């Protein structure tokens, strides 16, 4: 749901390395006096969805999270605004936006060697088989075993922000931003064959244990970070690291979510 409006006064600017984004950044710097990230209370992101995710991860890593306003200079741009949508000065345009919270996932993975590794994911956490052997997974939701054995190529947990990406390609549901839900989606499920996944309240922890893990090795991926040879993972929503995305009021996010589900 939309957050209460907070006026921003100082903006930072970051742009993907593409020629198109760099040219746009030069034009915007000539029209507005952007400040360094450390002094800003909001950030303008030029690029595509991938660059927006990269920027959000960098803010999480730095421990300084600013409201992010994306301008699409990439391909799909689901998390971005149209660059040409308004002729207002950038500061005024950003201050007219609606705010949406994006809650990242925190994955805790345990490996064969006993290592415990944590990693954040904005789009999804996925488990994927490493060899030709089918993965066999036990799935626990809310501390209760829901599927004792899932034979599959893998399974993923997607946030609303990531539900239109890998999750949707795996026939998972598209979730509106701010809905408080997660998608649990199998990848090429073999047994139980009829299970198509689940939509879950985001306050429930999800635990996935690899059965016969040494014979059927599995890797865990949190967005782009891969951990090999895992025994189990635990996935929870990290509300303490909530991110804020800004969208133009004329930008109908709800309509885009609906339309995405009918594209052929």
Specify the CATH number for the domain of residue 139.
Answer: 2.60.200.30
Of the pLDDT bands very low, low, confident and very high (cuts 50, 70, 90), residue 147 is: very high
User: Given a cut of 50, is residue 9 above it in pLDDT?
Assistant: yes
Structure tokens given for 4: 């209460």
pLDDT value at residue 3: 47
Nearest to 81 by CA among 123, 53, 37, 44: 44
Give yes or no for residue 26 having a pLDDT over 50.
yes
Same domain, 144 and 196: yes
Clarify whether residues 24 and 89 are in a common domain: yes
Residue 257 has pLDDT above 70, yes or no: no
Residues 90 and 167 in one domain: no
124 marked among binding-site residues: yes
Which pLDDT belongs to residue 2?
A: 46
Pair 138, 224 in one domain? yes
For strand 68-72 and strand 243-247, is the pairing parallel, antiparallel, or unpaired? parallel
Q: What is the mean pLDDT of residues 187-206?
A: 93
Q: Is 153 annotated as a binding-site member? A: yes
Give yes or no: residues 75 and 156 share one domain. Answer: no
What pTM does this model have?
Answer: 0.84
What value does the mean pLDDT take over residues 102-118?
95
Active site residue 49: yes
Residues 196 and 229 in one domain: yes
Name the percent of the chain lying above pLDDT 90. 76
Identify the CATH number of the domain in which residue 71 sits: 3.40.50.10330
161 is in an annotated binding site: yes
pLDDT band at 219 (very low <50, low <70, confident <90, very high): very high
Cα–Cα distance for residue pair 19/204, rounded to 1 Å = 43
The confidence band for 86, taking pLDDT boundaries of 50, 70 and 90, is: confident
How crowded is residue 174: how many other Cβ atoms within 10 Å of its Cβ? 17
What is the average per-residue pLDDT within 9-19? 96
Residues 225 and 252 in one domain: no
Q: What is the mean pLDDT of the chain?
A: 91
Same domain, 137 and 81: no
Asked if residue 95 belongs to a known ligand binding site, the reply is no
Name the 3-class secondary structure at 250: coil
Instruction: Decide: residue 128, CB within 10 A, 0-12 exposed, 13-18 middle, 19+ buried.
Output: middle
Burial of 146 (0-12, 13-18, 19+ CB in 10 A): middle
- pLDDT above 90 (res 14): yes
Asked if residue 85 has pLDDT above 70, the reply is no
My answer on whether 21 and 85 are in the same domain is yes
**173 and 227 part of one domain:** yes
pLDDT at residue 181, rounded to an integer: 95
Q: Structural domain of residue 47, as residue ranges?
A: 2-103+242-260
Question: Annotated binding residue at 165?
Answer: yes
Q: How many domains does the chain have?
A: 2
Domain check: are 123 and 210 in the same one?
A: yes
Q: Do residue 193 and residue 228 come from a single domain?
A: yes
Q: According to the annotation, is 50 in a ligand binding site?
A: yes
Catalytic entry in 19, 39, 41, 49: 49
197 is in an annotated binding site: no
């Amino acid at each position: 749901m939309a957050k209460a409006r907070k006026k921003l006064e100082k903006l930072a600017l970051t742009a993907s390395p593409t020629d198109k984004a760099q040219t746009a950044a030069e034009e915007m710097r000539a029209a507005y006096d952007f400040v360094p990230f450390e002094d800003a209370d909001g950030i303008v992101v030029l690029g595509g969805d991938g660059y927006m995710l990269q920027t959000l991860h960098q803010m999480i890593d730095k421990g300084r999270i600013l409201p992010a306003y994306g301008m699409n200079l990439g391909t799909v741009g689901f998390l971005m605004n149209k660059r040409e949508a308004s002729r207002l000065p950038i500061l005024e345009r950003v201050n007219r936006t609606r705010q949406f919270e994006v809650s990242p996932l925190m994955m805790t993975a345990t490996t064969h060697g006993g290592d415990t590794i944590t990693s954040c994911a904005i789009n999804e956490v996925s488990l994927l088989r490493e060899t030709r052997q089918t993965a066999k997974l036990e799935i626990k939701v809310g501390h209760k075993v829901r599927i004792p054995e899932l034979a599959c190529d893998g399974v993923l947990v997607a946030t609303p922000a990531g539900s239109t990406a890998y999750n949707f390609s795996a026939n998972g549901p598209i979730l509106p931003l701010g809905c408080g839900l997660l998608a649990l989606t199998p990848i090429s499920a073999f047994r139980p064959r009829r299970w198509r996944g689940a939509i879950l309240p985001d306050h429930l922890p999800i635990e996935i244990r690899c059965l016969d893990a040494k014979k059927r090795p599995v890797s865990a991926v949190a967005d782009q970070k891969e951990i090999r040879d895992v025994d189990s993972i635990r996935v929870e929503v990290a509300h303490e690291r909530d991110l804020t995305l800004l969208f133009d009021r004329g930008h109908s996010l709800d309509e885009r979510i609906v339309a995405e589900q009918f594209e052929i």
